[in-house]
């Protein structure tokens, strides 16, 4: 899966990971704010191995990688 597929999957509600990430178990997902959210626009967040959700922006390596896969 390439990054174009990742964006489509995120918009469809998917949760994704990369085989090339340093720590297994990390994943990204799209957050779409609702009326009760402090954020007003959609954003992507990462769940690192400790489970503390943080905002995420892709690196060039992430955008060019083709080792993306859906998380079940």
Residue 52 pLDDT grade (very low, low, confident, very high; cuts 50, 70, 90):
very high
Contact 58, 45 (CB under 8 A): no
Region 16-44: mean pLDDT is: 95
pTM of the complete model beyond 0.85: yes
Number of domains in the chain: 1
Residue 72 pLDDT grade (very low, low, confident, very high; cuts 50, 70, 90):
confident
Domain that holds residue 32: 3-70
The model's pLDDT over 2-13, given as tens digits with 9 standing for 90+, comes to 999 999 999 999
Region 47-55: mean pLDDT is: 95
Give 43's Cβ-side CA count (13 Å radius): 14
């Amino acid at each position: 899966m390439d990054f174009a597929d990742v964006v489509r999957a995120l918009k469809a509600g998917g949760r994704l990971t990369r085989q090339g990430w340093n720590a297994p178990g990390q994943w990204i997902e799209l957050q779409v704010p609702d009326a009760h959210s402090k954020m007003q626009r959609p954003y992507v967040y990462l769940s690192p191995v400790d489970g503390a959700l943080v905002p995420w922006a892709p690196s060039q390596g992430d955008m060019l990688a083709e080792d993306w896969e859906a998380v079940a």
